[in-house]
Amino acid sequence: MVDWAFAISVGSKLAGEGPVVSRAEADAAVAELRADADHSTGLVREFTGLSAPVNTAPVLVVDRPGWVRANAEGFQVATRPMMRKLVDKREPHRITQAVGAKITGAEVGGLLGFLAGKVLGQFDPFYEPSGRLLLVAPNIVHVERELDVDPTDFRLWVCLHEETHRVQFTAVPWMRDHLFSEIEAISETLEPSSLLDGGLDRITDAIKSSRSGGSIVDMFSSPAQREILDRVTGMMSLLEGHADVVMDDVGPQVIGSVKEIRAKFTKRRQGIGTLDRLLRRLLGLEAKMAQYRDGARFVRAVVDKVGMDEFNAVWAAPAHLPSKAELSDHDAWVRRVLG
């Protein structure tokens, strides 16, 4: 149904190679990012109180094609429950006839190619057995040049955020399984034939609704799926906001220019072009930006109220994760979880 090799090929070509650097500059950037990721582990542990087992979830410094390949592999794992359901309902032949493996591969490749030029780092929870951390060296170099910030400070700042995600998934043993169970739950609510019914009209509607914040994901969400997506939004907002708080609050201790970096980085997010903004909305990336803001506000509000030790009850069980509504009402979460 999806030609993954073709998706990787298309995505790698669309991603481009990134900024021009000498071999010595490239080697130095890779070495520094690896050292910064290692340095960040202790900083994250000291600030959050979360201790990840040693030698879990490897750190990989990759180029854009490497990021495309890693995420294509992750997509294969993430879509397995849906593919199993398609097979059970005998839908693969119909879908393959309608769109073809090469076409779906090109669509996935186009998405990965677009994102490959944007992502600075990412924790990949789908890599067995414990996930892996990806740092996209050319994108980090590109952004630090574009912002005209200190490269050493910026690289550690990025690593603090991404290492926090690695710690979240490796120090909290149920996190990966919980994410996988939510993906499985979404696939259970999926009606495969609906993906083919009025597909073009739905995408057209998604483009129109993007002006008010809609996305393609929204257009294919049933009420049952939206309930699950709301839970996932609460979880992902917590993870993103928690990482943002770590990178900014730990930063002043070890990063002299952290305030300048944050100000310039936030301004850059707001300054993207019209086409880029449309694509981000369609793909749901505007919502991801909101996750950083809402999650960070939630984490800061709870920590200010009860302290980090009490806040860490959020990692005790899936039931302790904030709901989408609790993100904007931290007192409700405190009452429900902490009493």
pLDDT in tens, 104-116: 888 889 889 988 9
Tell me the pLDDT band of 79, cut-offs 50, 70 and 90: confident
How many angstroms separate the CA atoms of 62 and 137, rounded?
Answer: 6
Neighbours of 31 (CB within 10 A): 11
How many angstroms separate the CA atoms of 107 and 1, rounded?
Answer: 12
Indicate the helix (H) or strand (E) that contains 133.
strand 132-136
Mind listing the domains of the chain with CATH numbers? Answer: 4-191+213-338 (1.20.150.30)
The pair of three-digit structure tokens given for residue 202, joined into one six-digit string: 């739905």
Give 124 or 294, the one with higher predicted confidence: 124
Q: Are 33 and 135 in contact (CB under 8 A)?
A: yes
Q: Is the dihedral of CA 276, 278, 284, 290 positive or negative?
A: positive
Has residue 210 got a pLDDT over 50? no
Q: Are 238 and 298 in contact (CB under 8 A)?
A: yes
Give 182 or 24, the one with higher predicted confidence: 24
Provide the b/e sequence for 171-186 (b: ≥16 CB within 10 Å).
bbeebbebbbebbebb
pLDDT at 86: 67
How big is the CA angle at 118 (ends 159 and 47), to the nearest 5 degrees? 20
The pair of three-digit structure tokens given for residue 72, joined into one six-digit string: 């294509």
What is the arithmetic mean of pLDDT over 202-230? 60
pLDDT at 188: 77
> What's this model's pTM, rounded to 2 decimal places?
0.83
| Numbers of helices and strands, H then E, in the chain | 17, 3
Residue 334 gets which letter from DSSP?
Answer: I
Q: Is the peptide bond before 19 cis (omega within 30 degrees of 0)?
A: no
pLDDT in tens, 29-73: 999 999 999 999 999 999 999 998 887 889 999 999 999 999 999
pLDDT at 185: 86
How many angstroms separate the CA atoms of 212 and 298, rounded?
Answer: 24
Q: What is the mean pLDDT of the chain?
A: 83
SS3 132: strand
